Chain A
Amino acid sequence: MPFRVRSLIYMVPQIIRSLRAPSITVRFPFAPAVIPEGYRGVVKVHAELCRGCSLCVRDCPAAALELHRENRETYRLIYHPERCAYCGQCELSCNFGAIYQVNEISRSTLHLSELETVLVDRKPEEEDSEG
C-alpha cells in the first residue's frame, strides 16, 4: 500500500476519536474545578484531635508548618500554603489522625501574608472543657 494512503487510513479512527471526545477544559472561576478525589491539596486539621506533639512540624520537608507553644496547654499550629509542597508527609506522620489533606486548591491572593492559616489555636479553657 502506498505510504500516504496508509497514513490517512490510520488517522481516521484518531479523527473520529478526537471529534467525539468532550472538551476537557473547564472555565475555571465561573465553573467548578474538576479535581480528582485522591488529589493532595491543602492541609486541614481536626483541631480537637491535635495534641501539639509537633511530629508534623518536624517531618515537613518544606517548613510549611509552625508550632508556637507557650506552655503545655497553649499552642498554635500555623500553616503556610505558599511554602507547602503538598507531599502529605504531615498526614502520614500524625499519630492521632488530626492533620489531613483535602482535594482543594489554595486560593490565589495578592499578599502572601493573607495565605497564612491558623490550624489549631489551643487555649487552656478548651482543654478543661474537654477533660
Chain B
Amino acid sequence: MTKTTVPIGPQHPLLKEPMSFQLGLEGERVAESAMRIGYVHRGIERLCQERSYVQNIYLLERVCGICSHVHATTYSRAVEALMGVEVPPRGVYLRALMCEFERIHSHLLWLGVIARNIGFDTIFNYAWRDREIVLDIMEDLSGGRVSHAANTLGGSRFDLTDEHRDKILEQLQIMDAQIQLLLGAVEHERTLRERTRGIGKLTLEQIHRYCVVGPVARASGLDIDLRRDRHEAPYDRLEFAVPVHTDGDVWARTLVRVQEAVESVSLCRQILNSLPEGPVTTRVPRRVPAGEAISRSEAPRGEVIYYVRSDGSDKPARVKVRTPTLTALVTLSEQLADVQMADVSVVLSGVDLCIACADR
C-alpha cells in the first residue's frame, strides 16, 4: 500500500504548543511517526548561570505556564538545601497548598483539552469553568493567575488570615461538588469511554523501559508518587490516596488525573485546617556556599528534578531542569503505532504534553 506522509505541526490547531510530527499513514492507520521538538527552546539553563539566585526563581517559574509554582518550589528547595536553611513549617504548608491548587488546575485544564479533542465540548466547558474557581483562589492568594511568584528563598511570599482561609474553604466546597460531577461524567459517559478505551496503550514493562513518571505511569500500574514515597513535609502528616489503574490507555489516564484532582481538593482542605502557626519565611544568607544539591518533587505531570551546583559566587554555576514531559515524549512513537488517524489527537493529548517544559 502506498504511504502518505501527514505533517502535524510545528503550528497546528491540534497542538497547543509548537512541536512537529511526521506521520506515515497506510490507509487510515499510522505506520510510522517521527517527532521533532525544540521550537520553544529558550536556553533557560544557560540563562540561569547568568542571573542571581533570587532572579532565577522568577525565570524558572516561566519554564512552564501551568506548573509554574512547582518549578519555583523545587528550585528554592535545592538552593535552601545548599544554604542549609530550613523553611518554617507554615511556609512549607503554604507552598504545598499552592502546589495542590496547581495540580487541580492542571488536571482540569487537561480534562478540558482532551474532551475538546474528542469532540465533547460540554465536559470542556464544565472543566474550564470550574478551573476558574481555583485560578481565582490562586490569584487572591498570590496576586497572579498564572505566574504566582509565591516563592522566595526561605519560604512563602504570601500568608493567610483566618477570614481568608474560611473563604477558600467555602470555595473549595463548590469545587468539590463540581469535581465530583466531572468524575461521575468521566466514569459514566459512554462517549468519553468509547473514544479513549484501548488507545495509546502502554504496558508496565514499557513504563519501566522508558522511565516514565507521573499520571501516565500510574495509569499503567506503576504505583509511584514522590509526595508519598519521599516522606517529606507536609505530606507525611496528611492523608491521601494515590490512584493507580492498570489499563494503561488514555481512559485510565483520564481516571487517574480526575481522581488525583479529587484527592488534591481533600489535601487542600487538610492543609488549610492544620496550618501551623508561626512565620512563613526565614532569613537567608546573601551568598550561597559552594556545593551541589538535587531536589525532586511531584509536579502535576510527574517527577520534576532540579540539580543546582554553586561555586560560592552569587550566581549558580549550573542549574539542570528535567521536566516530566520529556519522559512521556519518548513513548509517543510506540503509542502512535497502528492507531487510526482520527485517534492521533486523543493519543497526543492523552499524555498531557507540555512542550515548553520539555524544550526549556
Contact = CB atoms under 8 A, between A and B. Distances in A.
The answer to A–B direct touch (Cβ < 8 A) is yes
Contact of B59 (A14, A39, A59, A61): A61
Nearest to A6: B188
Interface string B47-58: 000011011111
Given A3-B190, A6-B188, A87 B147 contact: yes
Contact of A61 (B55, B141, B142, B143): B55
B144 interface: yes
Nearest to B177: A13
Interface in B148-176: 149, 152, 157-158
A92 B151 CA distance: 11
B241 interface: no
Contact of B181 (A6, A14, A59): A14
Interface of B is mostly: helix
Contacts of B122: 11
B149 A10 contact: no
Given A36-B139, A38-B140, A10 B147 contact: no
Interface string A66-100: 00000000000000000001111100110000000
A58 B315 CA distance: 12
A7 interface: yes
A40 B55 contact: no
Contact of A85 (B58, B140, B152, B189): B58
Contact of B149 (A3, A6, A40): A40
Given A39-B143, A40-B143, A101-B143, 15 more contacts: A6-B188, A10-B184, A36-B139, A36-B140, A38-B139, A38-B140, A38-B143, A38-B158, A39-B144, A40-B149, A60-B55, A88-B143, A89-B55, A92-B152, A92-B157
28 contacts: A3-B188, A7-B189, A10-B181, A10-B184, A14-B181, A38-B139, A38-B142, A38-B143, A38-B158, A39-B139, A39-B143, A40-B142, A40-B143, A40-B144, A40-B149, A58-B52, A59-B52, A60-B55, A85-B58, A86-B147, A86-B149, A87-B147, A87-B149, A88-B157, A89-B54, A89-B57, A89-B58, A93-B54
